[in-house]
Chains A and B, each alone.
Chain A
């Protein structure tokens, strides 16, 4: 792992996971009226731990290979425990999914902000201003 990768910290992985979670949540919102659909989500804490462990797990079989960072394995999509299941078997709670979607978007933005600041810091260090 290069120095610049290290300087970026865990933020790239966080962004990748947040984007994946966003796909699941928007799938839940899209299927709010689909009979039999079960709402799904990822266990973010577990996925994050997995991402930390698997950081740099891509094997470098040659000294010239570059480590792949910022990539995460596809976390397992788990079924949500619903507060209420509608008669057609759909377990999506639109308000809750909406709230989760917004929260995920906010946290994505927070990570972006963090990453942005780090990149600016590195830029400053390179320029030596």
Chain B
């Protein structure tokens, strides 16, 4: 157990939150992607976080504390049907299908992810300072 473990744990969170931010960016970018069938429409995605606990894998390895992105799952509801016969992608009945993405929810998730990212950066910085201070013991 050392201060480097604290840094590793916090940096696992940086990776996880970056994945979350990427997923949110993907959702936002595809909010207006139109498809001809409900199946082909984009579905909102979200990362599934899982804690790596020390007791779960190897109780003696502290580097196994932290968080990982276990999977990226589809969380969006069914595609929204919209009547727009003039659209080039409209099906034979004149419908197009838009993904069920709520911009407000995505923005809130994004802010949460960015706050968590900041918290972890802060933790890494503090651990770094303490490690540096320890190195200068007795000087």
Q: Which residue in B17, B113, B123, B137 is a CB contact (below 8 Å) of A26?
A: B123
Taking CB atoms and an 8 Å cut-off, the chain B residues in 20-67 that contact chain A are 20, 48-51, 54, 62, 65-67
Contact present for A108 and B138 (CB under 8 Å): no
| A25 shortest CB reach to chain B, Å | 8
Contact present for B10 and A29 (CB under 8 Å): yes
Q: Which residue in B1, B12, B49, B133 is a CB contact (below 8 Å) of A19?
A: B1
In the complex, whether B96 has a CB less than 8 A from a CB of chain A is no
Contacts of A119 in B (CB 8 A): 137-138
Show 28 A/B contacts (Cβ-Cβ < 8 Å), sorted by A.
A16-B1, A19-B1, A22-B3, A22-B127, A24-B65, A29-B119, A30-B9, A30-B123, A31-B49, A31-B51, A31-B67, A32-B116, A32-B119, A33-B17, A33-B20, A33-B49, A33-B112, A34-B67, A35-B49, A37-B51, A77-B54, A98-B119, A101-B123, A101-B126, A108-B130, A109-B130, A115-B137, A119-B137
Contact present for A105 and B130 (CB under 8 Å): yes
Shortest 9 CB-CB distances between A and B: which pairs? A30-B13, A119-B138, A34-B49, A27-B65, A26-B6, A37-B51, A22-B6, A26-B9, A31-B51
Compute the total of residue contacts between A and B using a CB distance below 8 Å.
99
Contact present for B62 and A23 (CB under 8 Å): yes
Residue of A nearest to B113 (CB): A33
Contacts of A24 in B (CB 8 A): 65
Contact present for B65 and A29 (CB under 8 Å): no
Taking CB atoms and an 8 Å cut-off, the chain A residues in 27-47 that contact chain B are 27, 29-37
Contact present for B133 and A112 (CB under 8 Å): yes
- Starting from the known contacts A29-B116, A105-B126, A112-B130, 4 additional A-B residue pairs (CB-CB under 8 Å) come to A22-B130, A23-B5, A30-B67, A120-B138
In the complex, whether B74 has a CB less than 8 A from a CB of chain A is no
Taking CB atoms and an 8 Å cut-off, the chain A residues in 61-120 that contact chain B are 74, 77, 94, 98, 101-102, 105, 108-109, 112, 115-116, 119-120
Residues of B in contact with A (beta carbons under 8 Å apart): 1-3, 5-7, 9-10, 12-13, 16-17, 20, 48-51, 54, 62, 65-67, 112-113, 115-116, 119-120, 122-123, 126-127, 129-130, 133-134, 137-138
Judged by DSSP, the binding face of B is: helix
Judged by DSSP, the binding face of A is: helix
Interface centre among B16, B65, B123 (most CB of A within 10 A): B123
Contacts of A94 in B (CB 8 A): 115-116, 119
In the complex, whether A123 has a CB less than 8 A from a CB of chain B is yes
A15, B2: Cα distance in complex, Å = 10
